[in-house]
């Protein structure tokens, strides 16, 4: 029988261990009868302790304070010369017995008042309402004040009641000291026990290295000590200040500088790196994140403390993953496009208003108070989505019109312009997927080139003040059909602009992070599916910008004068797509090539290793904004250009792809389709 019990206990022990590792709860029905009884008893006792917590704490204080007080009397009576009775020289038995008999009634009665003073004052000061597992300096200070008041109250009461027999001063002092120490140590022991229990129960937390040992790290560690995290186990810290290296911050050792991060990650088995310098300069952030990218750790970053205080939210809940924007290789550009004066009170039309850039344009335009916003898009789902979003945000305050129409339809464009008479036109409608346009070049020409031409002619005909074309860096020395069609669109703008009352400009920028069809959403989908991530070539590089940056550039360009200008953003250094893929895998908490693989598929048709933002033939000069450059309009033969457009349209609608590509090469001499 005993052997069977031992075997069963071993079996349940192994099952409990497996359940802990896999985080599966063992059901009560799985327990044997004697263990089930013990489980019920422990739960019942725990429930009683929780329900009558304050009563048990009061009872403990009564016993502890009474024991401390009576113990003080014992010690005092053993050194009876403190009482001034002159008992020195008497037999030991007399010394040990007579004082107890003489002072017994005083001991008992005064003990009652002593305990009562402590319990009443503690209750009044909220000592039984505090959660001591979260106790801070304020709680301990309040405890000291409560102890001092309790002793003071007892001294006053004893002086009033005990006029014939005085309580020795030693009893006052030692009794107060012992009682306060005993009750305080008990609370501290409980706090340490609870925190130790919590830490041991979270042994599966990720091992974290902190970068920075300043105010932000101190606040984080303080909060984690107060509210232990289920996710983070802070192992060590690094800081570039030589005075801090080798010291500790709230028990966490500062083990080196940022240059030693890879070594410390390996030595301490770090899983997560947390950047705790919210106000760090961008170049320092890039340097540190570059070092961290050499490890296989998950990277996270702490937000600005001032913003946290303003938001009124706790620190640990606002720790975020490092965003891809943090790894752009440059600081995020914030521009003041002065949209209020440009847009306020104007009728604004956005073609392709449901797309990534178009929808963000609509958001910022709506915020600037236009007289009317007209959204034109062929894809009704996107148009409906941005329409509902703007209605939720602005309701009847925004005069909003949404039209489902194709920019290819010149008659419909003419009709819309005749109805709404827009002052400002932002032309974002286009086919932009490079591989798809390679297989359907005629569709790229029909939509991009002649869609732009239709909208531009309508804008000029109906007196629009400004027309802004959304272009791309792929228009520079294009190697693909999409880039070539965008270059022709720029040529349309530059050809019409000199003789038109409408200000025609183009805005050229690189890849937009997170836009529909861009590499970032594709990589995220591939990571979610477990990989692999597909990169065309290990050396391919691209310029990147965020959607807010792109829209800021568009609005800034719209506010600048200069007919036919092509505005270009200073986008910093280009980013290797392979580095972007590896960093995204790390940000997702995986290890590249081990958890998620990366495969190289080769350059796609029309794709080149690097993009350019300007052409050698363009005379680029600075504008009032140091982040924006402008290329002077090219000298073009307007009469021949429109003749070429007519021929291009005929070929495109004949759907002869080979002939079309050959003619595009004639119109765009820099178009090298064989690259």
Higher pLDDT, 555 or 431: 431
Residue 441 has pLDDT above 90, yes or no: yes
* The pair of three-digit structure tokens given for residue 78, joined into one six-digit string: 């053993």
Q: What percent of the chain has pLDDT over 90?
A: 20
The model's pTM: 0.56
Contact 122, 116 (CB under 8 A): no
pLDDT at 451: 95
Burial readout 407-438 (b: 16 or more C-beta within 10 A, e: otherwise): bbebebbbebbeebebbbbbbbbbbbebeebb
* pLDDT tens profile 520-563: 778 878 887 877 888 888 878 776 777 777 787 778 777 776 67
Alpha-carbon distances of 22 from 206, 519, 626, rounded to whole Å: 16, 36, 56
pLDDT at 371: 94
User: Spelled out in words, what is the top-level CATH class assigned to the domain 339-667?
Assistant: alpha beta
**Lowest-pLDDT range, 376-390, 481-495, 559-573, 601-615?**
601-615
Contact 358, 428 (CB under 8 A): yes
Contact 502, 465 (CB under 8 A): yes
* The pair of three-digit structure tokens given for residue 308, joined into one six-digit string: 């946290």
pLDDT at 655: 92
Q: Furthest-apart CA pair in the chain: how many Å?
A: 133
Residue 508 has pLDDT above 50, yes or no: yes
The residue whose two tokens read 């200008």 is 565
Contact 495, 636 (CB under 8 A): yes
Residues of the chain with CATH 3.40.50.720: 206-322, 339-667
Residues 6 or more apart whose Cβ sits within 8 Å of residue 116: none
- What is the C-alpha R_g of the chain? 39
**Lowest-pLDDT range, 225-229, 257-261, 304-308?**
304-308
Cα–Cα distance, 586 to 575 (Å, whole number): 17
pLDDT at 198: 47
**Lowest-pLDDT range, 67-81, 207-221, 418-432?**
67-81
Residues 6 or more apart whose Cβ sits within 8 Å of residue 181: 68
The pLDDT mean for the chain works out to 75
Alpha-carbon distances of 407 from 448, 466, 468, rounded to whole Å: 9, 18, 15
Contact 526, 559 (CB under 8 A): no
Pairing mode, if any, of strands 533-535 and 598-600? parallel
Higher pLDDT, 145 or 333: 145
pLDDT at 24: 40
* pLDDT tens profile 74-111: 777 766 544 444 333 333 444 444 555 666 777 777 78
**Lowest-pLDDT range, 394-398, 407-411, 448-452?**
394-398
SS3 assignment, position 125: coil
Highest mean pLDDT among 130-134, 184-188, 450-454, 668-672 belongs to 450-454
CA atoms within 13 A on the CB side of 354: 18
Number of C-beta neighbours around residue 672 at 10 A: 14
pLDDT at 482: 92
Q: Which CATH superfamily does the domain covering 206-322 fall into? A: NAD(P)-binding Rossmann-like Domain (3.40.50.720)
Q: pLDDT class for 203, splitting at 50, 70, 90?
A: very low
Helices 481-496 and 450-461 sit at what angle, rounded to 10 degrees?
Answer: 20
Mean pLDDT of 111-117: 81
Q: pLDDT class for 129, splitting at 50, 70, 90?
A: low
Pairing mode, if any, of strands 372-377 and 400-404? parallel
Residues 6 or more apart whose Cβ sits within 8 Å of residue 368: 339, 340, 342, 343, 344
pLDDT at 57: 75
pLDDT at 65: 80
Contact 351, 413 (CB under 8 A): no
556: preceding bond cis by omega (within 30 degrees): no
* pLDDT tens profile 7-60: 555 555 555 544 444 444 444 444 455 445 555 565 555 555 556 667 777 787
Dihedral pair phi/psi, residue 361, rounded to 5°: -60, -45
Mean pLDDT of 310-331: 49
Cα–Cα distance, 499 to 634 (Å, whole number): 14
pLDDT at 136: 57
Continuous H helices in 227-353: 261-268, 282-292, 305-311, 339-343
Catalytic, out of 346, 432, 474, 586: 474
Alpha-carbon distances of 146 from 117, 149, 151, 169, 180, rounded to whole Å: 10, 5, 9, 20, 9
Q: pLDDT class for 518, splitting at 50, 70, 90?
A: low
Residue 466 pairs in a beta bridge with 424, 503
Q: What is the DSSP letter of 245?
A: T
Contact 365, 343 (CB under 8 A): yes
Q: What is the DSSP letter of 15?
A: H
DSSP string for 384-395:
HHHHHHHHHHHG
Residue 151 has pLDDT above 90, yes or no: no
Residue 591 pairs in a beta bridge with none
Say whether 432 is catalytic: no
**Lowest-pLDDT range, 2-16, 248-262, 328-342, 625-639?**
2-16
Q: pLDDT class for 269, splitting at 50, 70, 90?
A: confident
pLDDT at 425: 95
Residue 122 has pLDDT above 70, yes or no: yes
Residue 612 has pLDDT above 60, yes or no: no
The residue whose two tokens read 């007919």 is 563
CA dihedral 520, 523, 525, 529 (to 10 degrees): -170
Q: pLDDT class for 346, splitting at 50, 70, 90?
A: very high
pLDDT at 597: 86
Higher pLDDT, 462 or 536: 462
Contact 274, 264 (CB under 8 A): no
Residue 206 pairs in a beta bridge with 232
């Amino acid at each position: 029988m005993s052997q069977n019990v031992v075997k069963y206990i071993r079996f349940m022990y192994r099952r409990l261990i497996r359940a802990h590792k896999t985080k599966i709860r063992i059901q009560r029905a799985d327990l044997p009868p004697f263990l089930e009884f013990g489980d019920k008893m422990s739960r019942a006792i725990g429930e009683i302790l929780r329900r009558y917590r304050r009563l048990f704490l009061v009872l403990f204080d009564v016993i502890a304070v009474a024991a401390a007080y009576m113990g003080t009397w014992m010690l005092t009576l053993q050194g009876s010369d403190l009482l001034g009775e002159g008992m020195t020289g008497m037999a030991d038995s007399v010394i040990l017995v007579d004082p107890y008999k003489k002072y017994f009634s005083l001991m008992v009665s005064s003990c009652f008042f002593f305990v009562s003073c402590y319990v009443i004052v503690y209750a009044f000061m909220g000592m039984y309402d505090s959660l001591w597992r979260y106790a801070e300096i304020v709680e301990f200070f309040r405890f000291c004040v409560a102890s001092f008041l309790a002793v003071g109250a007892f001294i006053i009461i004893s002086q009033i009641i005990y006029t014939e027999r005085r309580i020795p001063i030693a009893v006052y002092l030692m009794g107060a000291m012992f009682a306060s120490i005993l009750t305080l140590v008990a609370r501290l022991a409980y706090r340490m026990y609870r925190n130790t229990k919590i830490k041991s129960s979270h042994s599966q937390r990720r091992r974290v290295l902190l970068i920075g040992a300043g105010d932000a790290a101190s606040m984080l560690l303080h909060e984690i000590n107060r509210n232990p995290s289920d996710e983070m186990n802070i192992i060590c810290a690094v800081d570039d200040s030589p005075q801090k290296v080798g010291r500790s911050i709230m028990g966490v050792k500062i083990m080196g500088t940022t240059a030693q991060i890879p070594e410390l990650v390996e030595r301490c088995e770090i899983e997560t790196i947390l950047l705790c310098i919210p106000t760090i300069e961008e170049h320092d952030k890039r340097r540190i994140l570059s070092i961290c990218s050499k490890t296989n750790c998950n990277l996270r970053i702490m937000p600005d403390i001032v913003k946290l205080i303003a938001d009124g939210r706790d620190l640990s809940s606002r720790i975020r993953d490092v965003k891809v924007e943090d790894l752009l290789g440059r600081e995020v550009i914030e521009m003041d496009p002065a949209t209020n004066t440009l847009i306020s009170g104007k009728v604004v039309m956005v073609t392709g208003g449901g797309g990534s850039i178009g929808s963000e344009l609509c958001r910022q335009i709506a915020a600037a108070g236009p007289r009317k916003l007209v959204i034109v898009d062929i894809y009704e789902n996107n148009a409906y989505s941005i329409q509902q979003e703007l209605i939720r945000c602005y309701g009847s305050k925004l005069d909003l019109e949404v039209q489902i129409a194709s920019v290819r339809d010149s008659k419909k464009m003419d009709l819309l312009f005749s109805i709404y008479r827009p002052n400002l036109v932002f032309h974002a409608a286009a086919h932009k997927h490079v591989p798809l346009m390679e297989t359907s070049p005629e569709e790229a020409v029909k939509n991009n080139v002649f869609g732009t031409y239709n909208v531009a002619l309508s804008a000029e005909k109906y007196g629009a003040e400004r027309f802004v074309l959304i272009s791309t860096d792929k228009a520079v020395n294009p190697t693909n059909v999409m880039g070539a069609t965008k270059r022709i669109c720029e040529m349309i703008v530059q050809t019409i602009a000199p003789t038109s009352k409408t200000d025609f400009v183009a805005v050229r920028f690189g890849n937009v992070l997170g836009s529909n069809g861009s590499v970032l959403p594709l990589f995220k989908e591939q990571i979610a599916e477990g990989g692999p991530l597909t990169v065309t070539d290990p050396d391919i590089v691209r310029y990147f910008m965020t959607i807010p940056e792109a829209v800021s550039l568009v609005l800034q360009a719209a506010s600048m004068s200069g007919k036919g200008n092509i505005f270009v953003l200073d986008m910093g250094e280009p980013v290797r797509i392979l580095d972007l893929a590896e960093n995204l895998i790390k940000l997702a908490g995986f290890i590249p090539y081990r958890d998620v693989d990366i495969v190289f598929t080769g350059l796609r048709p029309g794709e080149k290793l690097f993009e350019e933002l300007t052409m050698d033939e363009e005379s680029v000069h600075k504008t009032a904004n140091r982040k924006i450059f402008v290329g002077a309009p090219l000298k073009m033969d307007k009469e021949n250009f429109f003749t070429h457009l007519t021929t291009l349209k005929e070929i495109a609608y004949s759907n002869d792809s080979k002939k079309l590509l050959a003619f595009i090469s004639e119109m765009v001499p820099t178009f090298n389709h064989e690259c």
